[in-house]
Structures are given as structure tokens and as C-alpha cells.
Amino acid sequence: MRLTIFVLTVLVLASAAWAQDEATLARAAAGCGSSGIQFDVKTDNSRHPMQQPEPGKATVYVFEHEKVFRFEIGAATTRVGLDGQWQGANHGESFFFFPADPGKHHLCVDWPSSQSRLSSSGAAANFIAEPGTTYYFLAELEERDKHPPEVRLKAVDSAEGEFLIWADSLSTSHPKRK
């Protein structure tokens, strides 16, 4: 009897670890980084840089907009990943940018939260970067009644992207120290 309970316990724990590994691999394939990394984010509404791509690279802008929030906790923070590595984070109506090598990329935006109903909110997109080109993506976070909040990620054209640079705050972020 004890052996049966022991074997069942081991199987349950192994299957939970396997499921978690599968989720980690799926998130990395979508472009997300490690779930254990959190960011400190500062925003600055006085700076609106329009970055030219570095030679041989593309520039990627990612904006965060929030819709219909009733939470009393303030603005949300979203992490932005590219090909399995976090590039930084946004907080509230903000943006940041980073260089990307030419080729196919997987871009991920997620909303890390200690609240279980929010912790799996995220979105992803693929794009092919060409040298000398600037890409603009908008992450929209929307609270919904009786459902977990939704995160959508969409490409926006250069006219909209340039407008959003002037309308939003610049985010600077760095991983939190543990």
C-alpha cells in the first residue's frame, strides 16, 4: 500500500513538472523569456525618441495601452520578449524600442501578475525583420467582465507608430534584483 501511494505521488509530481516544462517551452517558442524575471520600469513623458535602425539591423517599437481598467492597483506592467529573451518592459501608456537582427522573429508580450487570473495573459506575433526598417507593435490590455483580461498584440503602420511615439511615455526598464 505504501509503495502504491509513493509511486502515485511520484507520478503526480512528475506530471506536474512535465506540464510546467511544456508551458515554459511553448512560451519560449512564442518569444517569451523566463517567467522568473520581473522588471523595474520608469516612464518619462518628456522624451519621444525616433530611433533610426543600427546598420544592418531593424528597430522594433512596442507600445502598451490599457482599456477600461477598474483595478485600484494602478497601471499594468508588461514584459516584451523576442525569440525567448526579454527585451524590457512597459508600464501604463508607454513604449520602448530595441534593435533586431534581420530574419524571422517571435515577439511576445505578457502581463506577469501574482493574481492567478492575470498571470497567463499575453499575446504573440511573428514578423520578418529587414535591415534598415522600423516595426511598430501595439499591446492592448483590456479588462473584461466575468473573464480574465485580454492582451492583444498587433502590428501598426509607421504613421500610427510615429504618432504613438509622441503621444506615449518612454519606458526604461531593468530586471529586478532578487
pLDDT digits (tens), the chain, 178 positions:
665 555 545 445 445 444 445 655 666 666 899 888 999 999 999 999 999 999 999 999 999 998 865 554 568 899 999 999 999 999 999 999 999 999 999 999 998 865 555 556 899 999 999 999 999 999 998 877 777 778 999 999 999 999 999 999 999 999 987 6
Question: Do 4 and 46 fall into the same domain?
Answer: no
Question: Do 15 and 38 fall into the same domain?
Answer: no
Question: Do 6 and 87 fall into the same domain?
Answer: no
Instruction: Give backbone dihedrals phi and psi of 23, rounded to 5 degrees, phi first.
Output: -65, -40
Domain span at residue 118?
A: 31-175
Q: What share of the chain is helix, strand, coil (3-state, %, to 5)?
A: 20, 45, 35
| Distance of alpha carbon 96 from alpha carbon 111, whole angstroms | 16
Question: Do 23 and 80 fall into the same domain?
Answer: no
- In the beta sheet, which residues pair with residue 100? 58
Question: Do 10 and 60 fall into the same domain?
Answer: no
Question: Do 88 and 150 fall into the same domain?
Answer: yes
Distances (CA, A) of 119 to 12, 102, 114, 160: 23, 31, 7, 29
Provide the whole-model pTM: 0.81
Q: Which 8-state DSSP code applies to residue 54?
A: P
Question: Do 152 and 67 fall into the same domain?
Answer: yes
